[in-house]
Structure 1
């Protein structure tokens, strides 16, 4: 229908809308687009400043001379951030107005630029206000219906997680480069996040490190660029940071392969003065190479978001990601009716109600190999979300013994409890490593020794786990929760915390934070089992 109406409009000399042109272009590709989201989106829906505006605002808040520092930086924004950090450093450590920040974030202050990043994260959390303007609220509702395989963003705020809830989040370049990503239903915050101040790519030194790793980042992004069209929202075609990434991708390709990227990149630019929305082809040039891209210009995002919401996908993105994470065997049977089962699924189908089957060869052999090789992430994700469909008996007999050869913290009680209800399971035959972990008490995970102001504060904390987690940063919570009294740990509170922070902590760049997170999961396994026994 769209092709017919498009043809008629061309014959009549009538221009298509930007949305129609965009949708028609994206339909040429077999996969939905990836979204590359920039600061323009945060400005539009959260009322935050662009980068230059943010630096000016930070100078205003902290009593620094923006005019002097900006002239010293000569228009170089990362250098301006470096100069602001240098000026803020002694003030932050000495002035009374920063006492609350120091008390809450002192453990994050590892260098002369930490204070600026900490204060920036504090500002973003307080200043970001979701729009109440009816037109923009309506746009956000359309945004939530956008069909995309994933999102890459340089933004620090959490708007994208609000728009696309439940997607797995990776923070920083290393989160993308070194993680076992699935490439679908994932958000890549390549410049860091406000929830981890030290992850922010902000100063001159940060950008130098970022650009050093650009070839590695580009190699990861290239997969998305080749398999999907990429729609840039909230960026300008002149944005140096985005151009550097695109140029790194081009540098890694032969002239022949550069052609494969032709027309896959689409830049949507918002211009409040635009009276005639347009969708036109333009050229990016770099080092003698030319890359055709498309640019759409509009004064309203409604048309664009409606078009992105009309892209068809046969299977929901989160389900596709789950399919890539795990493959289940087709039950071996002489009756073909038992070997294939088809059920309609859509975005409303609960993932834990869906069973997948795919198999080649004998079920028993494949099953055993699969469970022996299962990852700790899949196991702990199943414990928290109950969405991996694992066979508890096989987990106890095959997975846990192998994992416990390599790791110290692993949930075992839930799987043992379920396995005991299954035919053929004998608890006496459990691997000795599994028995050892199953006999641990809560004291094993909690620390009684240690000194320092923050340790004593945790030891003497009178509230519960929720109150402790809300009074401080995520990193501080993960660094000191194990000093809390036993009474602080409430099953529901710990479960809610683990669900909310799972994706951020399971891939956290600090190995100590990841270890603390996995220890907390073991504590949850223990207190959940104790609660179930008491009921």
Structure 2
């Protein structure tokens, strides 16, 4: 059976870019309007007579306007009428001082302030199935590289990736000094957090199109490393069609030949619980062909759950912090006469103080640098990551002679991967003693620990274990459920769970003795003869 496009993304461990449209906000925000609904409500705010709106729609239709052109014309008309009514004191907007709001003196369009007020009133849909989807959606924060969205509302940054992603709502910010192309949200049509940034009228779209090349350049930068998954869009969205047309025009023939594996459209179909995948070619209004992979479904929970199986070497937020630190070090080094070299652990990035003294970056073969600086400084979490993901390629002999040269017998560390291939380690008696004290499952999981786990349920079915673990938030308790039932599952299943926990909350994993024992069990089974 052929692998699905999502399975191939998971297999390649590629963190995708999400291109999110209004369909996603409409799914999760109660009463969220489509574009026509928003314009209709806007007209009602000025004149409740439905013929007032219909008159202009009819005029646009007779002029042969497309849906996109009609909407932008209507938005222009309503902005003019709305602003005139506001300044004539015929209507009021309840933002700031109602008699003399500050934003009026700042030159902000009253209509756009109305839109800010409109979207701020929207609330999360409380339907249980949708709440569950959002919970799974939130877990993607470490599985995707970035978000591009045309939505004004703050659902993505406030409810899904809260405090995890940097938000940009102006096109000129896309290549600012603060953008690192990872763990970022690009609100290309603006945000209700800045009314001036909203793109809705003809003039707004003219200005938007004049600098659209910045969006294309950003997409090219992101596309170089990631597939793009479109969610919440209609194929008939002319604005998105134009962006994609420009984007495709920048690709090489080789890139175009494989584009359908990198352009994935999730199309909503009510009641469709399967993920129906198909290859198809879209044709824009200008006749441009867009080969895509389409997934037709109403089952977004499964989409999120599948993407949550992506296991990146480093989370998106950590990659962003790494790039940020490197840039700061480079900037400082340019103007400094002296510099000091350091080795920084991924989880220490937030705690680095580079303001007090200049720093330098060491570039070279990793083993050479490690041999000079020493394996003894390696943090525990790097060892656990290496056991789980086999991605560090440490020198086994150096690990045994340097990193484990004075390992206490009470320390919880996996060592058998390195002992298995190390040479001349007889001199490290402490390590050999440590190994003899942890060379069986019962030694890793002694009686006092089993007693702690006694109250936990006995589970033998993998899906039931995952379900039970999802019911608790604490990492140590999640790991305890796995540890209690560890004999019932394969090493591959145990590793998958441990990897997910490690990526979800690395810091908590390193504080969890249950988690450490699970990883030591993997190491024992795989590497101890």
Q: TM-score over 0.5 for the alignment? A: yes
2:474 is matched with none
2:89 alignment partner in structure 1:
95
Q: 1:98 to 1:306 in 2, by over 3 A?
A: same
Q: Distance in 2 between matches of 1:370 and 1:388?
A: 23
* Structure 1 residues 248 and 29: CA distance shift in structure 2, 3 A: farther
Residue from 333, 342, 346 that aligns with 1:369:
333
Deviation of residue 195 (structure 1)? 0.9
Relative to the length of structure 1, the TM-score reads: 0.57
- 1:164 matched to 2:161: yes
Q: In structure 1, the residue corresponding to 2:266 is in which secondary structure?
A: strand
Deviations 1:137-177 (A, max 9, x none): 00000100122011110001111112012211111222214
Tell me how far apart the structure 2 counterparts of residues 41 and 325 of structure 1 sit (CA, whole Å). Answer: 30
Give deviations 1:430-457, integer Å, cap 9, x for gaps.
xxxxxxxxxxxxxxxxxxxxxxxxxxxx
Check the 8 A contact 1:52/1:77 in 2, yes or no. yes
**Which runs of no fewer than 5 residues in structure 1 stay unpaired?**
1-6, 11-19, 330-357, 359-365, 374-384, 399-535
Cα distance, 1:108–1:301 mapped onto 2, change above 3 Å? farther
Query: Counterpart of 2:350?
Result: 387
Gaps (5+ residues) in structure 2? Answer: 62-66, 338-347, 361-529
Structure 2 residue 235 is matched with structure 1 residue 237: yes
2:314 is aligned to 315
| Secondary structure of residue in 1 paired with 2:251 | coil
Give RMSD over aligned pairs: 3.0
Residue 32 of structure 1, CA deviation: 0.8
**Aligned residue runs from structure 1 range 332-411, under 5 A:** 369=333, 372=336, 387=350, 389-394=352-357
Q: Contact 1:258–1:291 (CA<8 Å) still a contact in 2?
A: no
Give the TM-score normalised by the residue count of structure 2: 0.57
1:55 and 2:50 correspond: no
Q: 1:280 to 1:78 in 2, by over 3 A?
A: same
Say whether residues 1:176 and 2:163 are aligned partners. Answer: no
The equivalent of 1:246 in structure 2 is: 244
CA distance in 2, matches of 1:311, 1:213: 34
Following the alignment from structure 2 to structure 1, what is the Cα–Cα distance between the partners of residues 176 and 334? 23
Residues 216 and 328 of structure 1: CA distance in aligned 2, closer, same or farther (over 3 Å): closer
Indicate the SS of the match to 2:230: strand
Among candidates 206, 211, 214, match of residue 213 of structure 1: 211
Distance 1:99 1:213 in 2: 31
Flag the 1:292–1:328 CA change in 2: closer, same or farther, 3 A.
closer
> Among 32, 38, 53, which residue is 1:66 paired with?
53
How far off its partner does 1:28 sit? 5.5
Q: Give how far 1:255 is off.
A: 3.2
Which position in structure 1 is the counterpart of 2:112? 117
Alpha-carbon distance in structure 1 between the residues aligned to 2:225 and 2:170 = 22
1:145 aligns with 139
Return closer, same or farther for 1:386/1:310 CA change in 2, 3 Å cut-off: closer
Between the aligned partners of 2:258 and 2:58, the Cα distance in structure 1 is: 43
> What secondary structure sits across from 1:280 in the alignment?
strand
Deviation at 1:206, TM superposition (A): 0.7
Residue 98 of structure 1 aligns to a residue whose secondary structure is coil
1:136 and 2:100 aligned: no
Q: How many residue pairs were aligned? A: 331
Where does residue 299 of structure 2 map in the other structure? 300
Deviation at 1:217, TM superposition (A): 1.7
Query: Relative to structure 1, is the Cα distance of residues 154 and 328 closer, same or farther in structure 2, using a 3 angstrom cutoff?
Result: closer
Residue 156 of structure 1 aligns to a residue in which SS? coil
- Corresponding residue number in structure 2 for 1:532: none
